[in-house]
Amino acid sequence: MITIGLDFGTHQTKVCAEYKNGVELNYTFFTFLDSTGKQQYTLPSIIHRRPDGRMDYGYIPANSNGEIIRYFKQATFTSSNIGLKQADAMYYSVWYLAFILFDLEEKYGTEFTIQMGVPTDGTRLTHQKQLAVRLLAAAYKLVEEVFENDKQAFLDKTWGELWDMTKIPDYSINLKEEYGILVFPEAYACLMPLISSSKVTSGMSLMVDIGGGTTDISFFTIIDHKPRVYDFTSVNKGLNYLTLAERSAHDTRTDSNIKISSEIDKTRKGDFTNSVNQVCVNLINKLRSEFKHQCNLRVERLMDALKTRPIIYTGGGSTFHELRKGYGGFRDVIHISQKEWRTKAIIDMKKIEILGLCPILSTAYGLSISVPDDNIKCSPFRDVFESIRGLEEENSKKTVDSNFGSAYDGFNYADDWDAWK
């Protein structure tokens, strides 16, 4: 059984495959051929429309004539002001996904399922999941029905011809099940490698995924080696916003990466920091409210506990050190690396480590970890403190010590009472 983790990104797309043989699991990252003939672990999210109307995808030769189109993923899933209408962006997204599907079916046949990530928060999850299913189903129909797996025939069609041949279906559960598509919030997908490796301690944690178009934030704990998610949010500010690149979907660059920190606008960086901080402040306010409602312990206990809890960074934007900082009381800043992965199961792990690709490939890896369904439900905030309900400050030190830590799923702060108090 093969599960494909498809991280369709604003700047670049990554694909990871899980091979399941009984209880044995292996993971391999799909590679793409660049314009120089080298294999790469990422595919630029770029489409090149030639003067004759035909299109190239991903790696585009330098000095190519015609039009470069980018940020179609961002324009499809988020409100943006990049000069690309959502209706047009959806078609570009379908063609780009079809280009990838041709290669996947050539390598794996049709015996695989796709798990895809989308930028979303809890209020838009259903809409975003349905949109992703529609795009992938349209891409599948192009590959399997319209072109019958003939990639060259697809590449020979002009923009206008493809437009007429592409039909984006309405969403239905039957459509979703026909192609076996599962869709997850990108913020949630990033958690899976951490959980599977058991290398993040139980307790309150934040995950921050800084991507090209959005920054996805999730608040979670770990129970029985599974994530319990309480909140996830997608901030419509990523590297595009930070570098002023979101102003145009038609610039002339033939790559998609932000290479140096000097490209980050200082004013935009301050706005970005304020936006992320506001999400975290709102989160802390909810926690404080529930903490006071659940027990009669001093709220300082909660704030002191947060200082030891991790804020975990991933995504392309996390590779810039100045964008990684503590927020909302979370002070233990962690940057995803091979230390947080189940590395023995990953093919080419040494090469990926040397190239520093762990934070960039982490979402694709997480999406490839097979699960039975994509029914993601957030637990209520009151459950964060379910093990200390009713405790009061005047209780004996022993009672408070032994039970308060269990609210964080076994993380016992009684081990260091002086630091804790």
The pLDDT of residue 251 is 62
The pLDDT of residue 221 is 86
The pLDDT of residue 230 is 92
The pLDDT of residue 418 is 37
Q: Token pair for residue 56?
A: 């190239």
User: Parallel, antiparallel, or unpaired for β 43-44 and 12-21?
Assistant: antiparallel
Overall pTM surpassing 0.85 (yes/no):
yes
pLDDT along the chain (421 residues), means of 10: 95 95 89 92 95 94 86 89 87 98 96 94 92 98 98 97 98 96 90 72 88 92 80 91 71 64 90 95 92 87 87 93 91 88 86 93 93 89 83 54 38 36 31
The pLDDT of residue 198 is 66
The pLDDT of residue 183 is 97
